[in-house]
Amino acid sequence: MFKIEEAIKLDAQDEISQYKNEFYLMKDVLYMDGNSLGLLSKRAETTLLNLLDSWKTLGIDGWTEGENPWFYMSETVGGKMAPLVGGKLGEVIATGSTTSNLHQLVATFYKPTGNKTKILADELNFPSDIYALKSQIALKGLDPAEHLVQVESDDGRFLSEDRIIEAMTEDIALIVLPGVLYRSGQVLNMEKIAAAANDRGIPIGFDLCHSIGSVPHSLHEWGVDFAFWCTYKHLNGGPGSVGGLFVHEKNFGTAPGLAGWFGSKKESQFDMNHTMDPAEDSSAFQVGTPHVLSLAPVIGALEMFDEVGIDRIREKSLKLTGYMMKLVEHELSEFGFTVGNPIDDTRGGHILLEHQEAARICKALKEAGVIPDFRAPNGVRLAPVALYNTFEDVWHTIQKLKVIMDEKRYEKFENKRGVVA
C-alpha cells in the first residue's frame, strides 16, 4: 500500500500549489471532474462582478468605456487564449459555443466540388461534432451516410494517426478531428496529422475542448487551418461560458460561411451598410453580439494561465495522472478495473477507468465525497486538475474508491447513469 506521506512529499515539491487557494473548493469534497466543468476561481468571480458593476454604473456606455469595454471583449479574451493554442494575435477570437463555432468553420471551409465531397472525421469523437458535420453535409444536398467518413478504432479507445492519414484520399474535402479524445484522453499527434493534410491540400481543423488548458498546442506553427473549443472545462470559465475559435492567418480574407454583423470591421460596423465589410482576421468569424456576461469570468480565469504557463500546467498534470495510475495499479488491481487511457505521455488531463459497474461506482464515489464523471458504456473519468488538485487529493480519491470496491458499496445503486452524466 502506498502511504499518504508520499503524496504529502509530492505536494511539498509542487511549485504551483498556491493556486489552489485561488479557487472555491467544496467542503469535504474531492473534485475530480474539472474536465467537464472547472471550478470557480476568485478571479473569475471578480471579473464577472466587475462586469455587472460596469452595466450598473455605465449603462450602454459600457460598450466602449470601463475596465473591459464590451465592444472589444471577444478580441481581448481571444488574445489571452492565443498562447494556449499556439496562435498569433488576431488568429483567436472568443465567440459562440463549441458547436456553433464548428458550424461556422465547416460552413466556411467545406466546399465540396467535383469528386472532393467528403468530410473525414472519426468514430470516437464527441457526438455533437458528428451531428454538426452530418447537418452541414445535408445542407449541401449530400447524403451524410455516404459523405461523412469516420476513421475506425480497433479497440474503442484509441485512434491510429497512420490510419487517419491513410483515409486522406482524393475525395476528402475537409478534415475535423479531436485534439484529445473525450473518453480515453488520447492526445492525437496534431502536428503529424496536420502536415499530412497540408501536403494533400485538405483543410483541417481540431476540436480542442479536452486539450485547451491541459496540453500545449502550436496551431500556427503546425499549419492547422482552424480549431474550436469551449472554455468551461480546463479553462474554468463557468457553465456555458463563451467558446473560442482559431483561424490560421493563411486563411484571413476567406469569407465567413455564416455572416453576422459582429464579424465586421470595428470601425465600419455601425455604418449599417447592407454589404458586409468583414474584419481581416479571426474576428470575421463572429456572428452575433458577444455574450458579455459569459465572457467576463473567462478574463479572470485566464490570468492564472498567463502567470503559470501551459508548460508548467502540463508538467504537473502528467505527474498527477501518473501518480493516480500508479495508485490504481497497486490499490485496485483485484477489482476488475481496466485503465482505458494511454499509459505514456500521450494522455490528456484525465484518466479513464473502465468497469462493468461504472455507473453505480460513480454514484458511490459521489456519496463518498468524490466527484467523478461517468461516460457510457463503462467509463469512470477522473481528472485531477493542476491548478487546484493536489497529490493528497489523488491519494484520498483512490483510497475511497478502494473502500467502495472492497465493501461493494456500489451495489445499492442502480447501474444506470443520471440524466446528466
Q: Is 99 annotated as a binding residue?
A: yes
Q: Phi-psi category of 272—alpha, beta or left, where left has phi over 0 and alpha has psi -120 to 50?
A: left
Q: Is 129 annotated as a binding residue?
A: yes
CB within 8 A of 278, min separation 6: which ones? 255, 256, 259, 263, 264, 265, 284
Q: Is 229 annotated as a binding residue?
A: no
The x, y and z cell numbers of residue 369, run together, are 465525497
Q: Is 274 annotated as a binding residue?
A: no
Q: How far apart are CA 321 and CA 394, in angstroms?
A: 8
The x, y and z cell numbers of residue 403, run together, are 473502500
At residue 235, φ and ψ (nearest 5 deg) are -85, -10
CA nearest neighbour of 177 among 196, 162, 190, 158: 190
C-alpha atoms less than 13 angstroms from C-alpha of 336 in its C-beta half-sphere: 10
Q: Is 128 annotated as a binding residue?
A: yes
Q: Rg of the Cα trace of the chain?
A: 22
CB within 8 A of 49, min separation 6: which ones? none
Q: Is 232 annotated as a binding residue?
A: yes
Q: Is 261 annotated as a binding residue?
A: yes
CB within 8 A of 70, min separation 6: which ones? 54, 62, 63, 290, 292
Q: How far apart are CA 149 and CA 136, in angstroms?
A: 14
The annotation places the binding site for pyridoxal 5'-phosphate at 98-99, 126-129, 207, 210, 232, 261, 289
Q: Detail the residues annotated as belonging to a binding site.
A: 98-99, 126-129, 207, 210, 232, 261, 289
